[in-house]
Every structure is written in C-alpha cells, then in structure tokens.
A = this chain, B = another copy of it.
Amino acid sequence: MRYSNATNYALHTVVHLMLQPDGSSVGVQELAEMQQLSPTYLSKVLTKLRKAGLIESTPGAKGGYKISRTKHEISFLDVIHAIEGDTSLFDCTIHHEGCMIENTMRQAEENMKAELASKLLVDIAKEAESKQKEES
C-alpha cells in the first residue's frame, strides 16, 4: 500500500525541470541518469505528465522536456493525480453505496488530498535553490 515509484520519479523530475533556466529543455537521458533509472521507463512516466499538461516535450535534436507555463501552480496533488489516476485509497467492496466505513476513510483521504493540493512544487524548488546557495 504505497504510492508507486513512478510518482516519486515524477515529483523529482518536475522539481528538477523547475530549476532550469526559462525555456530550456532537458533530455530524458539526463533526467534518467540523475535518478539512476532507464530512459525508456522514465519517458513513459513523463508522457503521463505531458498528457496532464504539467510539462511540455519537443522531439528531435535539442529537444527534451520543460516545465509548462503553469509552473507556479503545479501542486503535489497534480503530479500524483497525473501518475496514479483518480483512484481512491479505499473502496468498500461489500456495500455499494453509503457505507459508513468508506465515508470515514474517504473523508480522511480527501483532507490529505486537499493538503497536497495546497503544497506547490515550486516552493520545493525554491528551497532546493537556496540550500544550494548556502553550500556554495
């Protein structure tokens, strides 16, 4: 019962892309090396992000991925949703509607999702940037 590794890769990639100079693209090769995983696998993850409108891609030489124009609005939940889909953590397979147990579980999940919707990845990127400056 966990979020998939794909979600982790996606979150890290988005933050990395946010740290790039405006308009510049990064190839999947570089992104994959950074996280030590295979480029083809990561590209499948990134395609989901593109289809969700979170990043943009350009094929061909000097192509790659860059963050979309809604950069400052991308939340944790946006990325999770793009990768995991809109499934619920909990489904009562016994009752078909109005299950009180399911209601309680769903409510708790909704609150978590609301929190994750309020957390923006651009803030993580900023934090990472200032940490780098401290170190140098």
Interface secondary structure of A, over-half rule: helix
Judging by beta carbons under 8 Å apart, are A1 and B89 in contact? yes
* A71 at the binding interface (Cβ < 8 Å): no
Q: How many residues of A sit at the interface, in one of the four size bands?
A: 35 or more
User: What 0/1 pattern do residues 76 to 112 of A give for CB contact below 8 A with B?
Assistant: 1000000010011111111000001100110111011
Given the complex of chains A and B, what is the CA–CA distance between A124 and B98 in angstroms? 12
Judging by beta carbons under 8 Å apart, are A2 and B108 in contact? no
* A35 at the binding interface (Cβ < 8 Å): yes
Given the complex of chains A and B, what is the CA–CA distance between A36 and B94 in angstroms? 8
Q: Return the contact of A90 from the options B2, B12, B36, B115 (Cβ within 8 A).
A: B2
With A8-B92, A89-B3, A90-B8 given, is the CB distance from A111 to B105 under 8 Å? Answer: no
